[in-house]
Structure 1
Amino acid sequence: MQLTATTRGILALVVGIAVFSLQDVILKRLSGDYPLYQAMIIRSLTAAPLLLIIVRVLDGRLSTIITPNWGWMLARGLLNFVAYTAYYLGLAAMPMADTVALFFTAPLFITIIAALVFKERIGPTNLFALGAGFAGMLMIFNPSGSVFDPAALLPVLGALGYALTQLATRVLGRTETTAAMTFWGNLTFLATALALAAVFGTGAHDGASHPSLAFLTRGWQDMPARDLLLFMACGVIAAVGLSLLTYAYRTAPSSSVAPFEYSFIIWGVLWGWLFWSQLPTALAWTGIALLIAAGLLVIRAEARNEKAAPEGAA
């Protein structure tokens, strides 16, 4: 059966999201034994040659990674590093589904920052989506409950960092290719993880009792071959997932494929239940539903704005 470009794009994105979700499972399972920077170093070293291949295939030449905008590329990579570090530190302490859902406040932050920086108008639909999204976030936080874990703020910080990364991508995308930006992002991940290893690698800061803090400050650990292979698999997952997502957004309109990124929440619920017997509470389910609805409203409004924009305005 002949598939349309949009259908191929959607399928590639859904498979790419499923692949990326496996990285979350690996890092959460090993977060109690190793530091995050150790995982990032091994992941980045494994992904580097694969990403060079991706640059060669997608851009046709490796020279696209050489750019006079290298400072801005590093800045974007640093924002992305902060985003995912915060997300994974939260994942070490929180149920997987809740962490993923809170990270998906990113479209709401993108709307707010775009209005402040690019002077984009926030219409009634987006205003309603913002209110619904942050109400959903509070439901997952459950501030009236007997215990509030500050780790719940980490995926929200990650979402803010991701939103800033995406807006930087919007600007750099005028002159830089997606594959080149990803290569520089991986390079920044490696350099920053090495800096964290220099600070915490000796084990002088061991002993933190909170899972998130321990995942950040634990000293470098010896690992059996199985765990080394799992961390190396994260590099392969990152490269394969990136290729699928890049293909998706190059093949089909972003307004058609972007809503399917929320399939990540399905995997978050499924893996959390299978591996850790964790399911969201009834209140958290309601919050997750509100966050998904709010994100889809923002994406839909963005798609309408793109269609209404004059030719060449994008």
Structure 2
Amino acid sequence: MLVAAATFVAMDSMAKQLGQSYSPVQLVWARYGVHLIVMVVGLLALRRFDRSILISQAPLGQFFRGVLLLGATIFSYLAVRELPLAQVYVINFSSPVIVTLLAIPLLGEPVNGIRIAAVLAGFSGVFVAMQPDLVAMNPAMAFPVGMAFCFAMYQLATRYFSHQDSPITSLLYTAVAGGLLCSLVVPFSWTPIQVSDMLPFVAIGTLGAVGHLALILAMRFASASLVSPFLYSQLLWATLSGFLFFNELPTLNTLAGAFMVIGSGMILLFWGRQDRVKHGNGE
């Protein structure tokens, strides 16, 4: 999960830089197209590519999971083009809060006072980090909110399908879903790629493949309550990258919101783990 956190920030940093010259659709297409090419070439080189990789126990579900990640990626690239990296990640940290809300109707998880308080605190933190101006609200703030919602749904889907298919099969379906859908629309927003930008374009897809393989493996071999908090290390990397490459520093509102969101997420993850231990399902 630490590897996933670092690679996601590196990928988004490159997308933020390239987003000044290329459309988000083209960047997302590179993200999934290169992801697919790198994966297939790597499997062929390791002699591990066979028909069994193409067979999924839930192909439609895996494709839907890929669409969710595609949505999160699109919102992410739109967000980082307009907003500071640290602010985008703080808002995206509301994913565990959204997962908790969605798990109540979708998974039938119980509701109690602690969970309700943590959810309210989490969304309050997002509101603080967004630094809203009720007179002139920045429309770009909708992008990281959409990113957080799609990523929360993706996490739920990953958790559900991680024990039905191998990590390689899950990763392949992720690339295929994103690659196919983006290929349908990228011709309408294509800008010729400069030679100097070729390497970052390739790096976006490569980092995406590595990061999501790490995420899938983390969810497969450990409980979400154990590994999910390590994604919060993204804030450190995002702050460092924003300062070094984009001359960005997090505001006090962003830091205060981060404290509230991360705190609520930790409470929800810890409380969920305690519930599983209490009912004999802990790890």
- TM-score between both structures, scaled by the size of structure 2: 0.89
Counterpart mapping for 1:113-192 below 5 A: 113-144=102-133, 147-192=136-181
| Aligned 1:266-305 pairs, distance under 5 A | 266-305=236-275
How far residue 246 of structure 1 moved from its aligned partner, in angstroms, is 4.0
Q: Does the aligned pair in 1 maintain the 2:167–2:217 contact within 8 Å?
A: no
Corresponding residue to 1:241 among 194, 202, 211 = 211
Q: Which amino acid aligns with 1:297?
A: I
Residue 34 in 1 paired to residue 22 in 2?
Answer: yes
Partner Cα separation in structure 2 for residue 238 and residue 132 of structure 1:
31
State the distance in 2 between where 1:254 and 1:54 align: 28
1:247 is displaced (CA, Å) by 4.3
**8 Å contact from structure 2 (residues 36, 179) kept in 1:** no
Contact 1:16/1:242 (<8 A) preserved = yes
1:84 aligns with 2:62: no
For 1:198-217, what aligned pairs fall within 5 Å after superposition?
198=187, 201=188
Output one character per residue of 1:131-170: Cα deviation in whole Å (capped at 9) or x when no partner. 1111111112222466321111111111111112222223
Over 3 Å counting, the alpha-carbon distance change for 1:120 and 1:253 in structure 2 is closer
2:158–2:216 CA contact under 8 A, matched in 1: no
**Cα displacement (A) at 1:37:** 2.0
Q: Within 2, Cα distance between the matches of 1:43 and 1:183?
A: 13
Instruction: Please say which of residues 46-55 and 260-269 is displaced more in the overlay.
Output: 46-55
Q: Which residue matches 2:58?
A: 69
Q: Deviations over 1:226-266 (max 9, x none)?
A: 21211101122122223434444455554332211100011
Letter in 1 for 2:84: P
**Structure 1 counterpart SS, 2:192:** coil
Q: Distance in 2 between matches of 1:132 and 1:55?
A: 48
Q: Distance in 1 between matches of 2:75 and 2:156?
A: 18
Q: Secondary structure at the match of 1:175?
A: coil
Question: Could you report, residue by residue, the CA deviation over 1:280-312 in whole angstroms, capped at 9, with x for unpaired residues?
Answer: 22222211111111111111112212222335x
Using a 3 Å threshold, how does the CA distance of structure 1 residues 81 and 55 change in structure 2: closer, same or farther?
Answer: farther
Q: 1:132 to 1:55 in 2, by over 3 A?
A: farther
Are the equivalent residues in 2 in contact too, given 1:129–1:295 (CA < 8 A)? yes
Give the partner amino acid of 1:276: F
Query: In 1, distance between residues paired with 2:53 and 2:140?
Result: 39
Give the TM-score normalised by the residue count of structure 1. Answer: 0.81
- Give how far 1:15 is off: 3.2
Q: Answer yes or no: is the 8 Å Cα contact 1:78–1:188 preserved in 2.
A: yes
Structure 1 residues 95, 259: CA separation in 2 closer, same or farther (over 3 Å shift)? same
Q: Does 1:262 align with 2:262?
A: no
Does structure 2 conserve the Cα–Cα contact (< 8 Å) formed by 1:82 and 1:158? Answer: yes
- The residue type paired with residue 47 of structure 1 is H
- Distance in structure 2 (CA, Å) of the matches to 1:16 and 1:117: 26
**Structure-1 separation of matches of 2:31 and 2:194:** 16
Secondary structure at 1:157's aligned position in 2?
helix
Hey, what's the Cα distance between the residues in 2 that align with 1:67 and 1:250?
16
Aligned counterpart in structure 2 of residue 194 of structure 1, from 183, 196, 200: 183
Contact 2:67–2:178 under 8 Å retained in 1: yes
User: Which residue number in structure 2 is paired with residue 20 of structure 1?
Assistant: 8
Distance 1:264 1:14 in 2: 8
Structure 2 unpaired stretches of 5+: none
| Contact 2:158-2:219 within 8 A present in 1 as well | no
Asked whether 1:104 is paired with 2:93, we answer yes
Q: What's the counterpart of residue 193 of structure 2?
A: 223
Q: In the TM superposition, what whole-angstrom CA distance separates every residue of 1:176-195 from its partner, at most 9, and x where no partner exists?
A: 22331221111111111112
Structure 1 unmatched ranges of 5 or more: 1-12, 202-218
1:278, distance to aligned residue in structure 2 (A) = 1.6
Distance, in Å, in 2 between the alignment partners of 1:83 and 1:15 is 19
Whole-angstrom distance in 2 between the partners of 1:244 and 1:171: 17
Preserved CA contact (<8 Å) 2:66 2:174: yes
